[in-house]
A and B are shown apart, each in its own frame.
Chain A
């Protein structure tokens, strides 16, 4: 599986974290799992970049966090989207869509 996993496009990790938290608050491991599942195993998230991402987003006011008891009865740090985080996700998604569409067009005409 590892050899099939792809490198994340620079700067998209933040967007994926926000997207994952759109549904419900989650803890670190859960977020990593969810990203892998949702991408069909294409993206293997490296914890070394995941945690700095959390800290960065938290500082930017896009994430909130609180300590809760997890499903297996252990204390875990749960992250959730703030209002600003939701807004950021919406604009990022729109922007991403626009860019993908544009790149798609270029690739089609080129071939």
Chain B
């Protein structure tokens, strides 16, 4: 009731402002009349009585103001008038307004864009029913696991999944899933789409309802299922089928197998992996059909599934984990791979299952991008700070020109708090508009960021919608920057004595040092922060450069990686070897191909093989043995890669299946395993799980090369002849070196392949492109920090220029007197530059310390240099000094060209 009355009363005085004001006037007049009448009764004259009554009231307007301020709506009214006044001021100063809003928009936009990415990969929860009930089941702290690992989340094997599903108690339902690439091309060049293997419980556990048709159920996912139904995502449905409902029942080709489409998922469902999406989901059981002999369903050492579940009501993640831990020994006992040697088995049997919260799904992007993104957010934050400092400087400059206005307002009775509020509202207006423009900017910026992290083979899709976190972030930035650049100037501006309004003061007078001190502090901090950003930019640029120039042991340009898959031909073992050799021969025959070779592992592709190495050629192998990485290659591989031989020979036609095993080893292999003597002719054996090979004889030594990634230290590497490998693959990965144009080369290879057999799947990627795709986060850091560094230097230089100009303007008289007393132009220039140099020196020393401190956070992201790299610091210091002194020269020369007479006359 009271609230209602308060509300309506307030609204009435907002809407019917005039009549409410009128009533108040009347009421007060009546009061004065009554008071005067009383006084006249005691014998005063009418005139005296009225004057006394008015004196007692003490200022009609002041009383009215007090009455108004007793209500809430007065606050809104004042805000409204402050805003109107603020808008008017901005309209009168369009250049100031545009500069301020643009620099804020850039700063806030950059911060928001990066925050949106962090939000998308880290903070958002899964778009499913009650995501907090979802947990991931995996081996707790798995180290030293053996076997073959595929997919981005190789948590568990298929047999482990079956055991867990049957024995767990904490989850009302569970599912297994695995990301994959499905080739949906009917033949010829491979067309991969994003696939998902899902167990029957996947959709029901998550609570996903079909948008069309039906989704995969446990009925669909039975061991040995023949032709399984495919579920497609909403975006795939629209992209490939135009959103037609007739899609149901149509066949989708997946790795050459036609599978009927049974349903479509809703538009907002992207799977359980953040930052990724899927096009086609298939039941896990169909993996046997689609992958054929490479199927991982039977393999006890094939790690490829990730398992999640929905907790039963009343079960916490910890409780579920405890239960899983308890059943672990039995489960691992029952699923022990038979091919494990005692060493592997011991490790395997000690594994313990655990449960982990997965309300925000899973994302391997968190590992690779979370740290860079937080660091970038920090850098963007510094840019915003510099922008705010710049604005603060502008506001201070305005504050000093508005001193008289403030003094005048105080003289007519405005309180200091009221004036501060007015000035803060002006700042808030700027910050608000800046934030709004920044939010718009952020939308496109974050899209660009995601696009720069996506590659054709590894596309990302981020849900960049603006949620409450992003909105809160923008609002917080706006308020924070407003406080930063608005509060101090507001306090300064209102710290004037009303008497000043009455004085006739001239411009061009020094206003005392304290007023100016804050501006110096701002410029010093700008220089310090921009040095930090500049150092960061240079560090990341040089790190990127180091990565691009690092000695990989091979020549990365001019190589095309071609994969020709002949699984569909269903060739026997011996036939495969022959077919691959035929293909290689034809590819070598293409005019313009300088060299071509088959390789099992393409360096830096992320794939790799590692086995234990036993020196010597006999004896019973026991216990642990040092491991080396392996690759199986055809002759000419080293010619394609341009990796030089240090000793011995390449593989050739003598090295065939039934000839003695030969190997070519890397320099580091010699260092670690052979140590001394002539390596050629040295023999060793290879142990894989519980099998030990017959001896290999070293026939050649080559230079070290990078294997898994560019940042690694080179490791011992063994090349064996692919012709001697007993399980030839049903595809040939051919690397070819050529100067031909990419498109010409690709079409030649395609025609060679289709001549050999029209039923082959072919895919291509230029080798250097593949390497560059592995450097996305480095490139992102280099580009963005470079952008931020430039922006920072620009802003800082503008700030310095502004302050020095102001200094010159406010010391005109002093300079005029000095010149009149005989100071020459050089002395005046030096006088001004000295000031700039002092600010610069202080800023640079603080900045150096700050950069050293910040650099620690970047240590792990840099390649080939330390964050305290002296050369980088020197370059940054010199660049910033030159630019800053340049910016100070202009006002210095202006000062030196002051006409002393004109200047003194003004006094």
Contacts and interface: CB of A to CB of B under 8 A. Distances in A.
A55 interface: yes
A58 interface: yes
Nearest to B74: A55
Given A52-B66, A59-B10, A60-B6, A47 B27 contact: no
B219 interface: no
Contacts of B1: 61, 84
B881 interface: no
Interface stretch (A73-81, A89-97, A98-106): A73-81
B30 A28 contact: yes
B849 interface: no
Given A55-B71, A59-B9, A84-B1, A47 B57 contact: yes
12 contacts: A28-B31, A29-B34, A47-B28, A47-B63, A48-B62, A51-B24, A51-B27, A55-B71, A59-B70, A60-B2, A60-B5, A84-B2
Interface string B14-29: 0000000001101110
Interface string B198-229: 00000000000000000000000000000000
Contacts of B58: 46-48
A12 interface: no
Interface string A39-55: 00000001111011111
B35 interface: yes
Nearest to A28: B31
B10 A48 contact: no
Given A48-B58, A51-B27, A61 B63 contact: no
B6 A59 contact: yes
**Chain A interface residue count: which class?**
20 to 34
B30 A77 contact: yes
B341 to A, nearest CB: 85
Interface of A: 27-30, 32-33, 46-49, 51-56, 58-62, 70, 72, 74-77, 84
Interface of B: 1-2, 5-6, 9-10, 23-24, 26-28, 30-31, 33-35, 37-38, 56-59, 62-63, 66-67, 69-71
A55 B70 contact: yes
Most buried by B among A27, A49, A55, A84: A55
A54 B9 CA distance: 13
B41 to A, nearest CB: 11
Contacts of B31: 27-29, 32, 47
Contacts of A48: 57-59, 62-63, 66
Nearest to B57: A47
Contact of A51 (B10, B33, B56, B66): B66
Contacts of A58: 5, 9
Nearest to A76: B30
Contacts of A70: 30, 34
Contacts of A84: 1-2
A28 B27 contact: yes
Ranked 6 nearest A-B pairs via Cβ: A61-B2, A29-B34, A52-B70, A52-B66, A61-B5, A55-B70
Given A58-B9, A59-B6, A51 B67 contact: yes
Contacts of A49: 66
B67 A75 contact: no
Contacts of B56: 47
Contact of A29 (B6, B23, B30): B30
B537 to A, nearest CB: 58
Given A76-B27, A77-B23, 12 more contacts: A33-B38, A46-B58, A47-B28, A47-B56, A48-B62, A51-B27, A51-B66, A52-B67, A56-B70, A58-B9, A76-B30, A77-B26
Contacts of A46: 58
A62 B5 CA distance: 10
A25 to B, nearest CB: 14
Contacts of B28: 28, 47, 51
B27 A77 contact: yes
A52 B28 CA distance: 12
Contacts of B24: 51
A14 to B, nearest CB: 11
A33 B69 CA distance: 25
Contacts of B10: 59
B716 to A, nearest CB: 85
Nearest to B2: A61
A41 B521 CA distance: 58
Contacts of A32: 31
Contacts of A74: 30, 33
Contacts of A29: 30-31, 34-35, 38
A77 to B, nearest CB: 5
Contacts of B26: 75, 77
Contacts of A33: 38
A59 B35 contact: no
A32 B56 CA distance: 12
Contacts of A51: 24, 27-28, 63, 66-67
Nearest to B37: A72
Contacts of B59: 48
A56 B66 CA distance: 11
A76 B29 CA distance: 10
Most buried by B among A32, A48, A56, A75: A48
Most buried by A among B5, B6, B59: B5
Contacts of B63: 47-48, 51
A2 to B, nearest CB: 10
A72 B36 CA distance: 13
A76 B2 CA distance: 24
A11 to B, nearest CB: 14
B62 A59 contact: no
Contacts of A59: 5-6, 9-10, 70-71
Contacts of A28: 27-28, 30-31, 34
Nearest to A49: B66
Nearest to B34: A29
A89 to B, nearest CB: 15
Contacts of A53: 70
A75 B30 contact: yes
B854 to A, nearest CB: 52
A30 B28 CA distance: 13
Most buried by A among B9, B34, B56, B62: B34
Contacts of B2: 60-62, 84
Contacts of B35: 29
Contacts of B67: 51-52, 54-55
A75 B188 CA distance: 98
Contact of A61 (B6, B30, B62): B6
B832 to A, nearest CB: 54
B300 to A, nearest CB: 78
A14 B71 CA distance: 15
A59 B26 CA distance: 19
Nearest to B69: A52
Contacts of B38: 29, 33
A91 B24 CA distance: 30
Contact of A27 (B5, B30, B37, B57): B30
B103 to A, nearest CB: 43
A30 B27 CA distance: 12
A103 to B, nearest CB: 29
A61 B7 CA distance: 11
Nearest to B36: A29
Nearest to A2: B56
A76 B23 CA distance: 10
A56 B5 CA distance: 11
A47 B57 CA distance: 6
A33 B34 CA distance: 10
A25 B58 CA distance: 26
Nearest to A53: B70
A51 B62 CA distance: 11
B58 to A, nearest CB: 5
Most buried by B among A28, A54, A59: A59
B6 to A, nearest CB: 5
B260 to A, nearest CB: 71
Most buried by A among B2, B30, B38, B57: B30
